[in-house]
Amino acid sequence: MKYSIFFLFAFCSLIGFATDFRLSDPKDIALAPVQNNIRNVLDLSGIWRFKKDSLNIGEKMQWYKGLSDSRAIAVPGSWNAQYDDMRDYLDWVWYETETYVPSSWKGQKIFIRVNDATYSAKIWVNGKPLGYHEGCHVPFAFDITKHVNWGVANKLVIQVENQLSPERVPTGNVQGGSFQSFPASNYDFFPYSGLNRSVVLFSVPSSYLRDITIKPSFEGSKGALNVTVESVGGINKGRVYVHGQGKTIEVPLVFKNNRANVGVVIPDVRLWCPEDPYLYDVKVVLGEGNEQMDIYNLKTGVRTVSVNEKSILLNGKPIFLKGFGRHEDFPALGRSSSNSVIIKDFGLMKWAGANSFRTTHYPYDEENYNLADREGFLVIGETPGVGLYFAGDGDSLEKRQQAMTRYIEEMMLRDKNHPSIIMWCVANEPGENAQIGKMGYSSDEVKEKAYNQFEKLFKQVRKRDNTRLVMYVGVMFGPTDWFNLTDVIAINRYWGWYSSPGNIELGAKTISTELDRLHNKFKKPCMVTEFGADAQAGMHSVNPEMFTEEYQKEFIKAYLDVADSKDFVTGMHVWNLADFKTSQGLIRFGSYNLKGVFTRDRRPKLAAWYLRKRWNGQ
Ligand code: BDP
């Protein structure tokens, strides 16, 4: 009897614990935190306390009550980049900080939003378990209202780990995977870990706007914004104001079950495009007259995206995407966000004459999209689905599929209102198997299963958004049936580098033949989403030789010439804007991928000067 009571107690406390920790609700990230007359934001960036927990004993030892023997760490920041003894460490760590919550926030709902914890995180506020999240490069948020202590400091503790696993996305530690690297990421960039982006507190009124979705369209000179608003709190009236070109259009909102939808017509619309990225100011108000409960402002552009057999069409006209794949990567920052680096990289892309980039291989810090809207960049928004494959035992496949489903939801909730995003990229170089070289040899059963799983992800994206194109990026030797699912045939190709190394001429011939074949088969516009060669800055040769700046330049030139000769090629993205850190491996000298046309510290190589000349038409 004595024992059964003990076990019952132990069981209940376990259950109690499990229910206390809940998974974050994606809807809580739908609107970026803002400071206005009603809403508040408190950015917690700064130096936090930090402690390694290699034995994962912290929770048992109640470290969530406060860390002893901690060291300092910058948030945002990647722990691997800040401490040399932590470079390859991917297991558990703890972060802690303290903050007052301003008394003027009393009566509002208060949330914590973590903009990226790579890979999984658990949060405690004032020693109380709050919740958890899995997945990197997307934010998550929790309502902390009932845990806040007023008039004193509040303790925030976050446990994070970034273990590499075939069950996760991106995948890692994959047996027989394509990459033989240390750490064993199944992708070609360093697994920078931790709170890579800011952590903020924000407040909203008790009845508030939870989500706003704006879908633009136009016919002739008449523009339209279809605005869907979701609210919390049962208020049934509101208003949308669209301001642009010196005029304000006002439309009432009527909520039914906390949801309202209106069409706003804009006569003489000024369309958004790279040459004139005109943005309208949208203000959504919950409540009427003096009873304005909540207000949210955002900027949007009116533009359409479609395709014909040969081109991507922006506002009905063919457009050519010139640009780059990039990484959030910089010395000492690792993967942590920095507005300075964002501004610098946008400047360099403009300098080189680019009009486009893909968020390789994960959703970027939100400021990238705000700036792209404003500067007129055409963006391909990509999920963290890199190193993805559909073979393997059911359990790990199911877990990867769940992770992808969640990523798509979170990415689209966060990024849906940016006019700069013209395409969603479901995955980069997915495979039937984990090993690229063996992809063409999958059994019919594996092929079919892979196709079906992948198709579900495409359907999910299209169901949420019928205003943008959907694609994935195909790998060399990879399956081509999947292009049936896409609007644009996008391929990464390195003929003349990984295959027929040293022979640019043969590489160019191969890509040329392949593009023709793909276009003939699918009758869709084609894009080379990655092509490039490693170049060690300062290494030269008279005749182009691999790893020299001359070879990189000639390689890029040859591919661009091929693209120019085909009217169905709708875009060319050079891999990569800048050199970046990756895991150690035989083909990664100094553990860098050197395919940047700029060095990691953003100095131009020969190829950057070449692109500037070519893309600016000089
Ligand atoms: C492509 C990958 C990219 C790599 C690149 C390379 O999409 O992440 O960095 O190859 O090998 O296959 O440089």
**Residue 405 C-alpha to ligand 1 middle, in angstroms?**
24
Least confident of 77-81, 148-152, 439-443: 439-443
CATH code 2.60.40.10 region(s) in the chain = 208-292
Asked if residue 294 has its Cβ within 6 Å of ligand 1, the reply is: no
Query: For 449-603, where are the E strands, in sequence order?
Result: 469-474, 489-492, 526-530, 569-575, 580-581, 592-593
Pairing type for strands 154-161 and 22-23 reads unpaired
- Residue 530 designated active-site: yes
Give the lowest-confidence range in 8-12, 221-225, 333-337, 398-402: 8-12
Domain 355-487: what homologous superfamily? Answer: Glycosidases (3.20.20.80)
DSSP 436: G
Is the CATH number 2.60.120.260 carried by domain 20-204? yes
DSSP for 527-541? EEEE----B-TT---
DSSP bridge partners of 224: 217, 265
**Structure tokens belonging to residue 266:** 């804009």
Inter-residue contact 482 to 472 (CB < 8 Å): yes
Helical spans, DSSP H, in 335-393: 339-351, 366-375
CA angle (189, 194, 197) in 5-degree steps:
90
Q: What is the pLDDT of residues 90-127, one digit of tens each?
A: 999 999 999 999 999 999 999 999 999 999 999 999 99
Pairwise CA distance, residues 494 & 512, whole Å: 12
Q: What is the CA radius of gyration of the chain?
A: 25
Mean pLDDT within 402-421: 98
Residue with CA nearest ligand 1 atom 11: 188
Helix (H, G, I), strand (E, B) or coil at 210: strand
pLDDT of residue 618: 60
Report in angstroms the alpha-carbon separations of 468 from 47, 312, 314, 528.
Answer: 40, 11, 10, 19
Q: Are strands 321-325 and 120-125 parallel, antiparallel or unpaired?
A: unpaired
Q: Report the mean per-residue pLDDT for the chain.
A: 94
| Average pLDDT rounded to a whole number, residues 496-523 | 98
pLDDT of 437 above 90: no
Chain centroid to CA 100: how far?
31
Sheet holding 208-219, edge to edge: 208-219, 222-232, 259-266
Mean pLDDT, range 477-500, rounded to an integer: 96
Q: CB of 534 closer than 6 A to ligand 1? A: no
Tell me how many degrees the CA angle 594-600-604 measures, rounded to the nearest 5. 85
CB-CB contact of 467 with 215 (8 Å): yes
Q: Give 435's contacts (C-beta < 8 A, 6+ positions apart).
A: 176, 177, 178
Q: What SS3 class is residue 23? A: strand
How many other C-beta atoms are found inside a 10 Å radius of the C-beta of residue 483?
20
Q: Smallest Cα–Cα separation from 92: which of 194, 181, 186, 196?
A: 194
Q: Catalytic pick from 161, 230, 514, 530?
A: 530
pLDDT in tens, 582-606: 999 999 999 999 999 999 999 999 9
Q: Whose CA is nearest to atom 5 of ligand 1?
A: 188
Residues with Cβ < 8 Å from 469, sequence gap 6 or more? Answer: 305, 306, 307, 312, 422, 423, 424, 487, 488
Whole-number Cα distances in Å, 73 to 141, 249, 335, 450 = 22, 48, 14, 42
> Which residue did the predictor score with more confidence, 7 or 508?
508
pLDDT at 202: 98
C-beta of 595 in contact with ligand 1 (< 6 A): yes
**Terminal Cα-to-Cα distance of the chain (whole angstroms):** 88
E strands of 67-139, at which residues? 71-75, 93-99, 109-114, 120-125, 128-134
Q: What is the pTM of this model?
A: 0.95
Q: Is the CB–ligand 1 distance for residue 161 below 6 Å?
A: no
The CA distance from 577 to 352, in Å, is 10
Please state which of the four CATH numbers 2.60.40.10, 2.40.50.100, 3.40.50.1820, 2.60.120.860 is assigned to the domain occupying 208-292. Answer: 2.60.40.10
Distance from Cα 188 to the centre of ligand 1, integer Å: 6
CA dist 253 and 212 (Å) reads 12
Could you tell me where in the chain the CATH 3.20.20.80 domains are found? 355-487
Q: What are phi and psi of 129, to 5 degrees?
A: -65, 135
- Looking at residue 604, the DSSP 8-state letter turns out to be B
Confidence of residue 5 (pLDDT cuts 50, 70, 90): very low
- Ligand 1 atom with the smallest distance to the CA of 587 is 11
| CA of 595, closest atom in ligand 1 | 13
Percent of the chain beyond pLDDT 70? 95
Helix (H) or strand (E) holding 17: helix 2-20
Assess contact for 385 and 169: CB atoms under 8 A: yes
Location of each CATH 2.60.120.260 domain in the chain = 20-204
Is 429 known to be catalytic? yes
> Are the beta carbons of 598 and 344 closer than 8 angstroms?
no
Q: CA nearest 613: which of 345, 351, 322, 346? A: 351
